[in-house]
A and B are shown apart, each in its own frame.
Chain A
């Protein structure tokens, strides 16, 4: 196991009240065949460095030959940045896919002050894939971006 894996595995422990939150919108799709998207949220230091997975939503119940982990690589950017070296499931990080709606995820409370890039990637079966990135400055966390197809508004706010 590589040293960077540690950073990836370190999930969200009970976040204190001062921590920041990212809110991700999964838009409703007007399609005949809909499957909930796989979503990954991760942080990278702005100057480069190991990625840290904040949340990963995938098909956790599937087992056997077509286990849900087979499609984790479809979150291409996340897979390349660190997903490939991560063992799932991870407490406090991984979970089941979510239906369309708005979801708030606490960012790690132990982030050192500095500049980061927050990425949100969504990949949907029989659908598209989208990557939204936005800058994150700790401790003054406030940023906003929006996807076009697979993701709606992504906002970071101090909680």
Chain B
């Protein structure tokens, strides 16, 4: 692996944008998704790794993590900490209903050449790192640049937590990028029962979208256990759950509907972690 590729990979992990070179999966793992009572807290691990859900590679940076309260307004992330392999933070579910926690990132990545020298655009999100130059942006591409290759990247990585009765306000689509519009509430999943989730691209049903579903606990079985599923004509994915547990779900696709000048491709990704209960 070249140095640049390795750096890109790490950057992609931190940015929570899956680069083509990266096989590492970005995940958030809530301690529970369903809570009762009057003093409800959920603690969440966030990391990038190959095996789910074992933190052994890179933490997910917390700068981009947001909290949506059941009414859609912004909530608070508490006790955030980033370790060597994973980040940890808490959410106090002080309002009844379904909360959304996660990252929504968009940016432009790519490269161009000036006088035969290749330079990269984007690739590292968050605040500037001390001692390192700020990454180049689209605006930094000079007029004499050649071989301009730009890709728009847009990704979401979200988990849903419910205190008391589930609500659906946080599923309201924005109409931008790849979004999750569940038919079955993601906090009402039961082993043996089929769940239906609709996916939207720019607010329209994402037909024929490829979705990967992988159960957690990889280290304690031989199989990867990944299932490759596809959404139907109405953008709806049907998933059955063989056993209870935590599942990682990811959908990734590309299209050419770019808005950035000279960008030729748009890469869209959606990730969530789902808890499936015993019947």
Q: Which residues of A contact B (CB under 8 A)?
A: 2, 64-67, 69-73, 76-77, 79-80, 83-85, 129, 131
A5 to chain B: closest residue by CB: B165
Give the interface SS of chain A, mostly helix, strand, loop or mixed. Answer: helix
Q: Which residues of A contact B190 (CB under 8 A)?
A: 80
A67 touches B188 (CB 8 A): no
A76 touches B165 (CB 8 A): no
A72 touches B37 (CB 8 A): yes
Q: Which residues of B contact A76 (CB under 8 A)?
A: 277-278
Query: Is B34 positioned at the interface, with any CB of A under 8 Å from its CB?
Result: yes
Docked complex Cα distance between A79 and B36 (Å): 9
A79 touches B37 (CB 8 A): no
Query: Is B77 positioned at the interface, with any CB of A under 8 Å from its CB?
Result: no
B37 to chain A: closest residue by CB: A70
B39 touches A65 (CB 8 A): yes
A80 touches B36 (CB 8 A): no
Give the interface SS of chain B, mostly helix, strand, loop or mixed. Answer: loop
Interface residues in B256-279 by Cβ distance below 8 A to A read: 277-279
Q: Which residues of A contact B166 (CB under 8 A)?
A: 84
Query: Is B164 positioned at the interface, with any CB of A under 8 Å from its CB?
Result: yes
Nearest CB in chain B: distance from A15 CB, A: 28
Q: What are 30 A-B contacts defined by CB distance under 8 Å?
A: A2-B165, A65-B39, A66-B39, A67-B37, A67-B38, A67-B39, A69-B36, A69-B38, A70-B35, A70-B36, A70-B37, A70-B38, A70-B39, A71-B36, A71-B37, A72-B36, A73-B37, A76-B277, A77-B279, A79-B34, A79-B36, A80-B188, A80-B190, A84-B36, A84-B162, A84-B164, A84-B165, A84-B166, A85-B165, A129-B278
Q: Which residues of B contact A83 (CB under 8 A)?
A: 36
Q: Which residues of A contact B162 (CB under 8 A)?
A: 84
B34 touches A73 (CB 8 A): yes
Docked complex Cα distance between A67 and B32 (Å): 18
- Candidate in B165, B277, B278 with the most chain A CB atoms within 10 angstroms: B165
11 new A-B contacts, CB < 8 A, other than A64-B39, A70-B36, A76-B277, are A65-B39, A67-B38, A70-B35, A70-B38, A70-B40, A76-B278, A80-B190, A80-B277, A84-B162, A84-B166, A85-B164
Q: Which residues of B contact A70 (CB under 8 A)?
A: 35-40
The 8 A-B pairs of least Cβ separation, nearest first, read: A70-B37, A73-B36, A72-B36, A69-B37, A85-B165, A84-B165, A65-B39, A73-B34
- Candidate in A65, A70, A83 with the most chain B CB atoms within 10 angstroms: A70
Q: Which residues of B contact A64 (CB under 8 A)?
A: 39
Nearest CB in chain A: distance from B101 CB, A: 18
Q: Which residues of A contact B32 (CB under 8 A)?
A: 73
